[in-house]
């Protein structure tokens, strides 16, 4: 009969209308600024730079290798490498970013920078309320604003952070073992009164500076 | 290869020459046989030259699904000429891709058909894998199959909502559709980190493994989904107004569809049994029996029904796949993220995206960027036939016809 299909549809809407008063299945919206849905663990919004120490600028893991700058598809990262070097978490002398800017208006939250970074130093934040009234400077996020602690990372992405911590711990252990071996070799060589060849073993780590003693602060080069 | 078929319902089944199972839904409960109106083709423009009115619908018209323009020439309310104009959303996708690394284009493919970023990722990954000869581990294949079918369900759900909105059912069906879509988006977000711009697949696998508990959640969503489809069917499929607005509207004959290169649900609505999941057997589709719904009239109603039925078939693939997924690595250990340079050569990878055949054609010259990168976008090619479907019908019909093509302008214009 003509009209039954419409009536059937009406019943459906009536069910939904009535249901929206008591059935959470039918009323799925929340009043956003007051009520919030917890973000998903994997959620990604905008990158941040991980630091390990109290002073964010001292403890940045980033070594300004500029790989992310090169790989970022829309090219929204801008890095200036420092002139001097400083010891990183495992005591190796490394450059650090004198400038590290990400253009918020260009970044597309793709996470490629995170994937290509070999030093676990850039990660994705879950903060999504990033709007800004300043159209120019306010959207260029500098390294001071980007720096966030490893605790923060552990809080927002527990699983991922655990994996990342494990990688770093392994690297540190390796570096320490190597430093120890190097020191011993050096001592042995010094004892044998050899020339100033320097005990540079084949280093698997990236090439900067000969690995000096593990905790030394003096630049080697 | 022939998959086992549920033969208890002979009406729904048929087997064509290559043994592919398909079904025609005109025998089903929601039979289109109960046509409400018979339409007559309108006499067009006889002796009325000079009285024709040319109207530009779009690019900011709410019914054009984005920035798309239809230049229609009207005789009264009848469409005498229609010119689709696109390019407003052109953003140089192909040229940009030729200047970025292979990996760097992956997030851009999300932005082609932004409803179905996971199938876009898959098509691109597939062609790069062909180019570089990478193997995909089994678990990753399963994840791809699952996410692609979820995407298909998601896309068709939205399309049904949007199509109804084009017909003037403002709000209700679209809101119901979005409510359900949200459940799938939640799944996709907890897997990939983003609701729409997933950037999830990688050459030789997927970016990360499924998070803990994901499979259970997915099983729940998949098990619940038929309830929504039943609701949607009750709400719409038998609705007389919907039938009157869609049956006999925007007809496309099988011959024309084939010669115009139409693919996807639109082609199948015209009764052509062509589904790349069956034809190419890529991924793991050969492991799961599913049927390909076919229309017989090629009108808007058929296109709508095809999508409703395809969703049910997708759920039939999803259910066992979610159970069968094995443990294992999700990415080929040979695949490199940085410094990826496939050897010189060319490759064309294609999949059945929710909108049709989505293909990526790549030429490598051994450098880190593709020498040539070309997308075969189903939306664009399906859209080219719009005039033939709209001639002699009213403006309101033209809008419904456009809605049934299922376009996303991100993919049309690239
Ligand atoms: S998330 Fe993507 S777009 Fe944003 S800075 Fe990283 S690589 Fe660039
Ligand atoms: S890839 Fe990592 S270490 Fe290198 S510059 Fe980028 S954030 Fe810093």
Whether residue A34 lies inside any domain: the answer is: no
- Strand segments, DSSP code E, in B216-366 are 292-294, 345-353, 356-364
Decide: B342 and B364 in contact? Cβ < 8 Å: yes
For chain B, the average pLDDT equals 80
Centre of ligand 2 from the C-alpha of residue B58, in Å:
45
**Does B351 have pLDDT greater than 70?**
yes
Which tokens is A35 given? 């009520």
Burial of A106 (0-12, 13-18, 19+ CB in 10 A): middle
Judge residue B185's burial from the number of C-beta atoms within 10 Å of its C-beta, 0-12 exposed, 13-18 middle, 19 or more buried.
middle
Give the Cα separation of B35 and B73 in Å (integer): 29
pLDDT 10s digits, B228-246 = 888 888 787 777 777 777 8
Kindly report the CATH number that applies to the domain delimited by B10-406: 1.10.645.10
Which of B239, B246, B336, B370 is best to mutate for the A interface (most A CBs within 10 A)? B239
Tell me the ipTM for this assembly: 0.73
When mean pLDDT is compared across B40-49, B292-301, B323-332, B336-345, the lowest value belongs to B40-49
Tell me whether residue A181 is in a domain: no
Residue B267 φ then ψ, to 5°: -70, -40
Mutate to test the pocket of ligand 1, among A44, A97, A100, A110 (most ligand atoms within 8 A of CB): A110
Q: Which domain holds residue A115?
A: 47-169
- The two most distant CA atoms of chain A are separated, in Å, by 107
Ligand 1 atom, smallest distance to A112 CA: 7
Q: Residue A199: inside a domain, yes or no?
A: no
Task: Say what the pLDDT of residue A85 is.
Answer: 78
Pick the closest to residue B375 from B410, B414, B404, B344 (CA basis).
Answer: B414
B199 and chain A in contact, CB less than 8 A: yes
- In this predicted structure, what is the pLDDT of residue B50? 59
* B186 touches A: beta carbon within 8 Å: yes
Ligand 2 site residues (CB inside 6 A) read: A 62-68, 79, 117, 119, 121-122
User: Which residue in A4, A5, A44 is closest to B193 by CB distance?
Assistant: A44
Higher pLDDT, B35 or B350: B350
In a domain, A200, yes or no: no
Looking at residue B35, its pLDDT comes to: 45
pLDDT on residue A187:
81
- Closest Cα to atom 1, ligand 2: which residue? A117
Quote the tokens at residue B397: 């019909």
The answer to whether residue B402 scores a pLDDT higher than 80 is yes
Q: Show the beta-strand stretches assigned E in B49-94.
A: 53-57, 69-75, 78-85
Q: Report yes or no: A93 and A220 within 8 Å, Cβ to Cβ.
A: yes
Helix (H, G, I), strand (E, B) or coil at A60: strand
Contact (CB<8Å) B235/A3: no
Q: How many domains does chain A have?
A: 1
pLDDT digits (tens, 9 = 90+) for A99-142: 888 888 888 888 888 888 888 888 888 888 888 888 887 888 88
Q: How many helices (H) and strands (E) does chain A have?
A: 6, 8
Alpha carbon of A61 to ligand 2 centroid (Å): 8
**Atom nearest to A77 CA in ligand 1:** 5
- Residue B2 is predicted with a pLDDT of 37
CB proximity under 8 Å: B 354-413 to A: none
Strand order in the sheet with B356-364: B345-353, B356-364, B370-376
From chain B, the residues in CB contact with A6 under 8 A are: 239-241
Predicted confidence (pLDDT) per residue in B138-160, tens digit: 888 899 999 999 999 999 998 88
Q: For A24-66, how does the pLDDT look when each residue is reduced to its tens digit (9 = 90+)? A: 777 888 888 888 888 888 888 888 888 887 777 777 888 888 8
Chain A CB contacts of B30 below 8 Å: none
| 3-class SS of residue A154 | helix
Give the model's pLDDT for residue B151: 92
Residue A218, pLDDT above cutoff 70: no
- Per domain, the residue ranges of chain B are 10-406
User: Quick one: pLDDT band at residue B27, thresholds 50, 70, 90?
Assistant: very low
Give the per-residue pLDDT at B43.
55
Mean pLDDT computed over every residue of chain A: 78
pLDDT tens track for B84-137:
888 888 888 888 888 888 888 889 998 888 888 899 999 999 898 888 888 888
- State what percent of residues in chain A have pLDDT above 90: 0
Ligand 1 centroid vs B302 CA: distance in angstroms? 43
**Structure confidence at residue B48 as a pLDDT band (50, 70, 90):** low
pLDDT at site A212:
41
Q: Could you report the per-residue pLDDT of A142-182, keeping only the tens digit for each?
A: 888 888 888 888 888 888 888 888 888 888 888 888 888 88
Residue A191: inside a domain: no
B164 exposed, middle or buried (CB, 10 Å; 0-12, 13-18, 19+)? Answer: buried
Would you say B306 and B405 are in contact if contact means Cβ atoms under 8 Å apart? Answer: no
| In-domain check, residue A190 | no
C-beta A60 within 6 A of ligand 1: no
Taking the centre of ligand 1 as the mean of its atom positions, its distance from the CA of residue A114, in whole angstroms, is: 8
Rounded Cα distance, B151 and B267, in Å: 19
The answer to whether residue A211 scores a pLDDT higher than 60 is no
Collapsing DSSP to helix, strand or coil, B24 comes out as strand
pLDDT in tens, B252-291: 888 888 888 888 888 888 888 888 888 888 888 888 888 8
- Answer for the pair B359, B378: CB distance below 8 angstroms, yes or no: no
| Distance separating alpha carbons of residues B407 and B150, to the nearest angstrom | 19
Q: In what order do the strands lie in the sheet with A97-103?
A: A77-81, A97-103, A140-141
Token pair in block for residue A45: 């919004």
Q: What is the DSSP string of B351-366?
A: EEETTEEEEEEEEE-S
List the CATH number of the domain containing A74.
3.30.70.3270
Q: pLDDT band at residue B297, thresholds of 50, 70 and 90?
A: confident
Measured from the alpha carbon of residue A102, the closest ligand is: 1
């Amino acid at each position: 009969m003509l009209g039954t299909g419409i009536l059937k549809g009406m019943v459906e809407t009536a069910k939904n209308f009535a249901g929206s008063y008591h059935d959470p299945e039918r009323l799925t919206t929340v009043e956003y600024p007051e009520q919030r849905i917890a973000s998903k663990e994997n959620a990604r919004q905008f990158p941040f730079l991980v630091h390990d120490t109290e002073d964010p600028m001292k403890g940045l893991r980033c070594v300004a290798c500029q790989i992310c700058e090169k790989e970022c598809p829309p090219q929204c990262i801008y890095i200036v490498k420092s002139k001097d070097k400083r010891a990183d978490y495992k005591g190796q002398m490394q450059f650090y970013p004198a400038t590290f800017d990400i253009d918020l208006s260009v970044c597309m939250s793709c996470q490629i920078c995170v994937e290509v970074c070999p030093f676990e130093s850039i990660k994705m934040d879950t903060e999504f309320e990033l709007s800004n009234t300043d159209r120019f400077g306010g959207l260029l996020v500098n390294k001071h604003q980007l720096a966030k602690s490893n605790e923060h990372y552990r809080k927002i992405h527990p699983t991922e952070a655990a994996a990342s911590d494990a990688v770093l711990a392994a690297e540190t252990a390796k570096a320490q073992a190597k430093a120890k071996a190097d020191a011993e070799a050096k001592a042995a060589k010094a004892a044998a009164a050899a020339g100033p060849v320097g005990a540079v073993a084949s280093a698997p780590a990236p090439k900067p500076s000969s690995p000096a003693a593990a905790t030394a602060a003096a630049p080697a080069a | 290869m022939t998959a086992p078929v549920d033969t208890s319902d002979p009406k729904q089944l048929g087997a064509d020459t290559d043994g592919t199972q398909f079904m025609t839904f005109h025998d089903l409960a929601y039979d289109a046989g109960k046509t409400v109106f018979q339409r007559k083709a309108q006499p067009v423009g006889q002796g009325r030259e000079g009285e024709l009115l040319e109207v530009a619908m779009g690019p900011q018209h709410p019914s054009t699904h984005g920035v798309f323009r239809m230049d229609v020439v009207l005789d009264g309310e009848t469409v005498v000429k229609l010119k689709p104009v696109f390019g407003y959303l052109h953003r140089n996708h192909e040229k940009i891709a030729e200047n970025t690394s292979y990996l760097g284009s992956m997030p851009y493919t999300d932005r082609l058909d932004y409803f179905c970023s996971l199938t876009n990722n898959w098509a691109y990954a597939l062609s790069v894998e062909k180019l570089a000869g990478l193997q995909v581990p089994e678990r990753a294949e399963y994840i791809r199959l699952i996410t692609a079918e979820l995407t298909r369900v998601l896309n068709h759900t939205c399309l049904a909502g949007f199509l109804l909105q084009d017909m003037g059912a403002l709000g209700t069906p679209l809101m119901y559709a979005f409510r359900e879509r949200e459940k799938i988006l939640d799944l996709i977000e907890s897997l990939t980190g983003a609701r729409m711009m997933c950037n999830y697949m990688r050459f030789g696998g997927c970016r990360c493994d499924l998070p803990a508990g994901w499979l259970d959640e997915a099983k729940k969503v998949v098990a619940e989904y038929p309830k929504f489809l039943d609701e949607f069917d009750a709400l719409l499929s038998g609705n007389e107004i919907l039938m009157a607005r869609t049956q006999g509207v925007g007809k496309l004959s099988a011959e024309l569809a084939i010669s115009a290169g139409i693919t996807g649900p639109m082609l199948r609505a015209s009764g052509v049994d062509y589904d790349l999941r069956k034809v190419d057997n890529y991924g793991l589709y050969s492991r799961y029996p599913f049927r390909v719904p076919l229309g017989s009239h090629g009108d808007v109603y058929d296109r709508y029904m095809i999508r409703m039925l395809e969703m049910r078939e997708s759920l039939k693939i999803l259910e066992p796949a979610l159970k069968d997924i094995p443990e294992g690595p999700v990415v080929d250990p040979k695949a490199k993220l940085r410094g990826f340079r496939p050897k010189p050569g060319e490759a064309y990878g294609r999949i059945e995206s929710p909108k049709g055949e989505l293909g990526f054609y790549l030429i490598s010259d051994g450098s880190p960027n593709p020498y040539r990168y070309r997308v075969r976008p189903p939306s664009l090619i399906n859209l080219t036939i719009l005039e033939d479907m709209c001639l002699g019908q009213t403006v309101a019909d033209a809008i419904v016809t456009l809605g049934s093509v299922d376009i996303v302008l991100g993919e049309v214009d690239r």
